Amino acid sequence: MHNLAGGVDVGSCTTKAVIIDREHRIVASHVTYSGTDFECASRETWDKCLKAGGITQSEVGQVVSTGYGRNSVPFASVHLTEISCHGRGCLHFLPGPITVVDIGGQDNKIIKLDERGLRVSFKMNRKCAAGTGAFLEEMALRLRLPIEKLDDLARTADGEVPLGSYCTVFSATEVLEKIKAGHPIDRIVRGLFRSVVKRILEMDTLTDTVVLTGGVIEHNHFLADLIREHTSTPVRIPPHPQIIGALGAALYALEVE
């Protein structure tokens, strides 16, 4: 029996890999861009994860894959949905009932789990990229700002410029109009963050303890503060929110071993 197990989460934007031990501790992890070749991305991410932990492939038992490109991971023994793995990863840190809000690169998901960890409901934003990581990336490009600076700008703004458009294309035009009208950039950025929150709130009612995951939350913690303004339920960010799906997959992999 191996002492280590792995999980690989192949998302539309990034691929995440996690290796854990039998005490459920994270031994190594790595994140890379998925690109257009998911199989190549999964192999590259896994190899770099092994290297980061100083681990050889023979030391790892089972590997479970999840995410948009989960079927493109040839070295995985089991392929599970991101719904299952994100839920499992969150329950590792917080007991149910919980509402998982995953803000991804191309879509948002709301997963509700009961006190036993069983799924109660699932909602996904499939219509467009508005309110996702892609939306913020496009807006950062329009504003000519490094995306990693958005969180600080939104947090320190002394006001907010409301944005009426949810569509990414229309929002870009609106943002340019706001700049032309002389509105401060930091207030515009806070308005963009508010748009992301509004899109999430439109999807479903937030109940129980809300757990935020995904790469967007990893780098933009201020979104959690804005969500707290709209709900009376506790809002939590677990450790390593971007790799929570891969962690959940790795936890499942221990059971396969």
Residue 167 pLDDT: 65
pLDDT digits 0-9 by tens, 32-70: 999 999 999 999 999 999 999 999 999 999 999 999 999
One domain for residues 123 and 179:
yes
Q: DSSP strand E in the chain: where?
A: 4-10, 14-21, 26-33, 60-66, 78-79, 98-103, 108-113, 119-124, 209-213, 235-236
Is 87 in the same domain as 1?
A: yes
Is residue 243 located within the same domain as residue 228? no
Which pLDDT does position 136 carry in this prediction?
87
Task: Say yes or no: 195 and 207 in one domain.
Answer: yes
- Claim to verify: residue 249 and residue 178 sit in the same structural domain: no
Do 60 and 161 belong together in one domain? no
Residue 225 and residue 171 share a domain:
yes
Residue 199, phi-psi category: left (phi > 0), alpha (psi -120 to 50), beta (remainder): alpha
Contact residues for 134 (Cβ-Cβ < 8 A; gap 6+): 13, 105, 106, 168
Phi/psi for 77 (5° steps) reads -85, -25
In the chain, the number of structural domains is 2
Q: Domain check: are 143 and 65 in the same one? A: no
- The yes-or-no verdict on residue 20 having pLDDT over 80 is yes
Residue with more model confidence, 164 or 138: 138
Q: What is the pTM of this model?
A: 0.92
Rounded to 5 degrees, what angle do the CA atoms 57, 58, 64 make? 60
- Tell whether 135 and 72 lie within a shared domain: no
Structural domain of 83: 1-93+239-257
Query: Domain check: are 3 and 113 in the same one?
Result: no
Domain of 7: which CATH number?
A: 3.30.420.40
